[in-house]
Structure 1
Amino acid sequence: MTSSKPYLIKAFYDWISDNQLTPYVVVDTTVLGVQVPWQFVQDNQIVLNISGGAVGAISFGDNAIEFTARFSGKIEYITVPFGAVGAIYAKENGAGSSFPIEHDETFEEEDISTDEPSIKLEDASIEKPTTDDNNKSSSKKSGRPTLKVIK
């Protein structure tokens, strides 16, 4: 029999959202497959606002919740396996449920490639920009942002 946890998380998400409340999930970042911005992780946990207004393209798949969200103005792709969800609750009143963390998430061995690293050291090299007259004028930083009208 399949786990009921994904169904319960989706049901709580729908229930919280239908009542115009803000759904939050508590994620254990030590679980295999979690993709979150690590600079916001504290004590191996992160709390994520998964309301429709805060995330884009949210998807409740068979194994994980996937969506995009902005962190410090940068769009991040987030993956949260259902085994990593410790709780889902409404921000406004705390209504929701907690769940046990499942560290033995059922990812197949072939899903995790150990043959070659996905990022090589030479891929990470950064070239210094060349300086010419055009770059000098655009690289000046003023105190205030400006907009330019282009017709």
Structure 2
Amino acid sequence: MNDGSSIKPYLIRAVHQWCTDSMYCPHVSVQESGCSGIPAESFKDGEIILNISYQATNDLLIDNETIQFVARFNGVPRKVEIMIGAVVAIFARESGQGLTFIPEVNKTDVADEQGSSVDHPVSQDSQALSIESKRGKPFLKIIK
């Protein structure tokens, strides 16, 4: 995602802030091809839904190119990096309200961006990361 004038990262930050202010739990649905640091077995049909609340992540940073944070997968803390172009949706778990996007990442873009990066566990403490799987067609599910 080389276009610095994209509105997408601003909308992602806005929905995240709205969720936080409303005491909701913000979740993102992302494509596997635009992520690093997430174990491959966590993905279902090439996508994953991640809890990106401040309680579930450490060092959360949502900038114009990536979403970065430290989270635990199977008890192992990992530094996660998600390209903004890989974000399919951001929504509140409790209400299902949020935004969906057209993914802007394909595998050749990711290879160019990441070069030869390797996923490494980190040694920071963080709280558990909620992972929900998707089945079939994309949908938002209200969980109470």
TM-score by length of 2: 0.70
In the alignment, which residue of structure 2 is the partner of 1:27? Answer: 30
Structure 2 alignment gaps of length 5 or more: 119-144
1:5 aligns with 2:8: yes
User: For residue 5 of structure 1, what is the amino acid of its counterpart?
Assistant: K
Relative contact order (C-alpha < 8 Å, sep 6+): which is higher? 2
Mapping of 1:116-135 within 5 angstroms?
none
In the alignment, which residue of structure 2 is the partner of 1:92? Answer: 94
Judge conservation of contact 2:33–2:110 (CA < 8 Å) in 1.
Answer: no
Equivalent of 1:41 in 43, 65, 70? 43
In the alignment, which residue of structure 2 is the partner of 1:60? Answer: 62
Judge conservation of contact 2:66–2:84 (CA < 8 Å) in 1.
Answer: yes
Superposed CA deviations along residues 18-63 of structure 1, whole A, max 9, x for unmatched, are 10000000001123xx112212011000110000110000001220
Q: What is the root-mean-square deviation of aligned Cα atoms in Å?
A: 2.3
In the alignment, which residue of structure 2 is the partner of 1:136? Answer: none
Alpha-carbon distance change, 74 to 89 in structure 1, aligned in 2, over 3 angstroms? same
Aligned residue pair count: 113
Alpha-carbon distance change, 106 to 63 in structure 1, aligned in 2, over 3 angstroms? farther
Superposed CA deviations along residues 96-135 of structure 1, whole A, max 9, x for unmatched, are 110110026977958625xxx97xxxxxxxxxxxxxxxxx
- In 2, Cα distance between the equivalents of 1:75 and 1:92? 26
Structure 1 alignment gaps of length 5 or more: 119-151
In the alignment, which residue of structure 1 is the partner of 2:17? Answer: 14
Superposed CA deviations along residues 51-97 of structure 1, whole A, max 9, x for unmatched, are 01100000012200000011111101111111000000011110111
